[in-house]
Structure 1
Amino acid sequence: MSLIDKINNVIEEIKDESLDFLKELISIPTENPPGLNYDKIVKVIKDKLDELGYKTEILNPKEEELRKLVKFGSGNRPNLIGYLGNGNLKIAFNAHYDVVPAGDGWSSDPYTPIIRDGKLYGRGSADMKSGLVAQIYAVEVLRRAKIFPSSLQVIQTIVPDEETVGNINAGTYYLVEKGILRKDNINYAIFTEPTGSDNLCYGHRGAIWAVVKIFGKKSHGGLPQLGIDALKVSVKIIDKLYDSIPDITSKYNIIPEVSKKPSILIGTIKCGNWMNTVADYCEFSIVRRLIPEEELKEVRESMIKIISETTREYNARYEYDEFYAVDTIISDFNDVIYKIFKEKVKEVRGKEPSLVLSPGTFDIRFTVKNGIKSINYGPGRIEQAHATDEYVELKDFYDSIKVLALALYELSKS
């Protein structure tokens, strides 16, 4: 029997089991912020890995470490690590179990997974609990087909706090700092973030996340001229920031197409405490996305110049708190792992995969910066990440398991 026939047979055997496990994970609301049900979901995944023969451990940052690592939320931030095999080729899979808040407007309960028209709906179905399950069952396919290579050791790293980003975090960054993920003990890191089953992702755009605080002066609503209106100053700044985005298009293959242009989002704004009082305080958030052609330092300086000049014009004061800044991340897509994944995606999906950059940042930045050869391949589609009525195509889910299994086997022979 050929390799692909063996894998296809096992895929049929594990379809219901893997789907049930995915549904179970989706039904646990691991919203971040604040970081709900982290201990609960880690126990469920640990029990599964233990059942599948992994040696597992949980790394929990200490309280004093959490104060530095966690900007949003509170509570434990457990990292789950599972080891299978004793070979010299060490391949680490990485997935995060936290999801963004579901919000309102769903056509069904976001934490009651439901299948309609070949799609599994639920918060985290695309981003990225389907990837988490796919990476576990890709290894399981090899094990059940009795072709798990003796030359291989798989390390499953299941982490928190990817969604709240940061220059440091309690998940993948913490595992790098603790030496679980390092260049001399990991040959490859495979992420399963949602960039589509027909794409190989080798990095992501740059980004700046910041909170701006504007300080003004209170006065009576009938005498606003006597105050310094922090809300008015904020609106002026926000307008200028939006207008400052250059109309340029990247030459890189960033998906989806609209992400080839730089962007800015003022996601939150909080001002004032009474409608008849001039607001003496206002704060707003900035998420600026950079294309590879932009320089992080120049973008930051441009934004701060707008904030500084506008507050000075209105005799206000500002504080700029930038808690996340990362340049475009690009891994080496000429490495053999990309060649192997290209072959396996074409074998399973029937088409040549595209090499893409993700529009949003993810934890691959920590491994690439530390010299670990890295790739991202996951079943979800990027357009579904954080969306209302988020879903993953079941065909994409099962195909990704097959691609990951085939690529893992081929890597062990290279």
Structure 2
Amino acid sequence: MKIVALQNEAISLLHSLIETPSFSEEEDQTAIRITTWLQHYNIPTQRYKNNIWAQNKMFDSKKPTVLLNSHHDTVKPNKAYTNDPFKAFVKDGKLYGLGSNDAGGCLVSLMALFVYFYDKKDLKYNLIIVASAEEENSGNHGLNSILPKLPEIDFAVVGEPTQMQLAVAEKGLLVVDAYAPGIAGHAAHDNTENAIYNALEDILWIKNYNFPKHSEALGKIKMNVTQIEAGEQHNVVPATCHFVVDIRITDAYTNREVFNFLQANTKSELKARSFRLNSSAIPLNHPIVKAGIALGRNTYGSPTLSDQAVLSCPSLKMGPGDSTRSHSADEFIYMDEIKEGIEIYINLFNKIL
């Protein structure tokens, strides 16, 4: 199929996706549109919850398999929007609408790539496309829920806005609820066990501590206390203070190692919400990375989280659009970014397939 036709039809699909609300856990209608678009090319699809996937026509279980993945859920629009977030329109070469940049442009570009290679013979790799749900909220029924249903994956390309540069590593996420203990009492009396003061000791340690091992691609681990709550009235010293720690973890440590270290150095009771959102990376000498570098793409480490976090195989994050526009008011992606993204994806895979 001609690339220009694919570009136009991919952009048309993105218009439709923008105008179909698809908040995390509510993506059933965009799942239908994605299925219909693929079936237009006579591509059989499978569905679990709101995840849609398909494999190339000449799939051969003896060959290694590449996963192409991006998500079709969105965050909710913020109050600063001046446009209708569910109205797709083009102005000055920009396609506006919620999810246009994160990650609709990436998704339709990967789908165009998949269609381009779908029925080609004698490929070195199998291809599986997955349009996943619940990425924005790291939900239980997203990509992680269908991985056991897929053939073994040798490596993956995850579509997120990177300006078509090569994000060869991505920080993981560990969210920790901390409960600093204290003894309740009247504020007018001496009380040496104020839960807020105990929490402050731990918070200051978290603020000032630097983990000794740094990642070549991702730099340092970043810890931030992002929420805190304690007390019910002004004259009562609280018995507990709850605070939340957001930790962006590099490939120098596992999530469990970081949690255990925090536990050994703080007084608060710590509870991790999940250990499954690990950092990810792909070797610089991997064929897909070498192919990207040969096309003039740059490599870097990404601080933002994606569905890479649930993959155990090597994975590359790459897609059209700019991450700084994600979750912003009046979200947009340039039309030329989508067209260029499809061309670069196809040229990239032509080098390895």
> Are 1:287 and 2:228 counterparts?
no
In structure 1, the residue corresponding to 2:315 is in which secondary structure? strand
Q: Kindly state the Cα deviation for residue 290 of structure 1 after the two structures are TM-superposed.
A: 2.9
TM-score (norm 2): 0.82
Of 3, 14, 17, the match for 1:25: 17
Q: Distance in 1 between matches of 2:160 and 2:350?
A: 21
In structure 2, the residue corresponding to 1:210 is in which secondary structure? strand
Of 211, 218, 224, the match for 1:265: 224
Q: How does 1:11-410 map to 2 (within 5 A)?
A: 11=4, 13-32=5-24, 35=25, 37-60=26-49, 78-88=50-60, 90-141=65-116, 148-152=119-123, 153-165=126-138, 169-178=140-149, 180-183=150-153, 188-197=155-164, 199-216=165-182, 218-219=184-185, 223=188, 229-245=194-210, 250-252=215-217, 254=218, 260-274=219-233, 277-293=236-252, 299-308=258-267, 311=268, 318-324=269-275, 328-343=279-294, 346=295, 352-367=296-311, 369=312, 372=313, 374-410=315-351
Q: Distance in 2 between matches of 1:392 and 1:30?
A: 18
Contiguous gaps of at least 5 residues in structure 2: none
Change (3 A) 1:247 1:395: farther
Which structure's residues are more often helix, by fraction?
Answer: 1
| Structure 1 counterpart of 2:266, one-letter code | I
Instruction: Judge conservation of contact 2:114–2:129 (CA < 8 Å) in 1.
Output: no
Instruction: Judge conservation of contact 2:276–2:310 (CA < 8 Å) in 1.
Output: no
Q: Give CA deviations for 1:134-166 in whole Å, capped at 9, x if unaligned.
A: 1112234567xxxx5223554221112223348
Q: Kindly state the Cα deviation for residue 45 of structure 1 after the two structures are TM-superposed.
A: 1.2
Change (3 A) 1:334 1:284: same
Q: Distance in 1 between matches of 2:256 and 2:314?
A: 26
Provide runs of 4+ in structure 1 moved above 6 Å: none
Instruction: Judge conservation of contact 2:74–2:136 (CA < 8 Å) in 1.
Output: yes
Change (3 A) 1:27 1:278: farther
In structure 1, the residue corresponding to 2:226 is in which secondary structure? coil
Q: Kindly state the Cα deviation for residue 377 of structure 1 after the two structures are TM-superposed.
A: 1.9
Q: After alignment, is 94-103 or 242-251 more displaced?
A: 242-251
**Number of residue pairs matched by the alignment:** 348
Q: Give CA deviations for 1:352-386 in whole Å, capped at 9, x if unaligned.
A: 2112222123323444x2xx453332112232333
Change (3 A) 1:249 1:319: closer
Change (3 A) 1:43 1:235: farther
| Structure 1 counterpart of 2:108, one-letter code | V
Q: Distance in 2 between matches of 1:84 and 1:48?
A: 15
Instruction: Judge conservation of contact 2:278–2:309 (CA < 8 Å) in 1.
Output: no
In structure 2, the residue corresponding to 1:406 is in which secondary structure? helix
Instruction: Judge conservation of contact 2:178–2:270 (CA < 8 Å) in 1.
Output: yes
Instruction: Judge conservation of contact 1:209–1:325 (CA < 8 Å) in 2.
Output: no
- Alignment identity in percent? 20
Change (3 A) 1:278 1:138: same
Q: Distance in 2 between matches of 1:238 and 1:359?
A: 22
Change (3 A) 1:84 1:291: closer
Q: Kindly state the Cα deviation for residue 229 of structure 1 after the two structures are TM-superposed.
A: 4.6
Q: Kindly state the Cα deviation for residue 327 of structure 1 after the two structures are TM-superposed.
A: 5.1
Instruction: Judge conservation of contact 2:73–2:133 (CA < 8 Å) in 1.
Output: yes
Change (3 A) 1:192 1:327: closer
TM-score (norm 1): 0.72
Q: Kindly state the Cα deviation for residue 83 of structure 1 after the two structures are TM-superposed.
A: 3.0
Instruction: Judge conservation of contact 1:219–1:227 (CA < 8 Å) in 2.
Output: no
Instruction: Judge conservation of contact 2:35–2:45 (CA < 8 Å) in 1.
Output: yes
Change (3 A) 1:47 1:282: farther
Instruction: Judge conservation of contact 2:168–2:300 (CA < 8 Å) in 1.
Output: yes
Change (3 A) 1:85 1:250: same
Instruction: Judge conservation of contact 2:281–2:316 (CA < 8 Å) in 1.
Output: no
Q: Distance in 1 between matches of 2:318 and 2:41?
A: 23
Instruction: Judge conservation of contact 1:162–1:171 (CA < 8 Å) in 2.
Output: yes
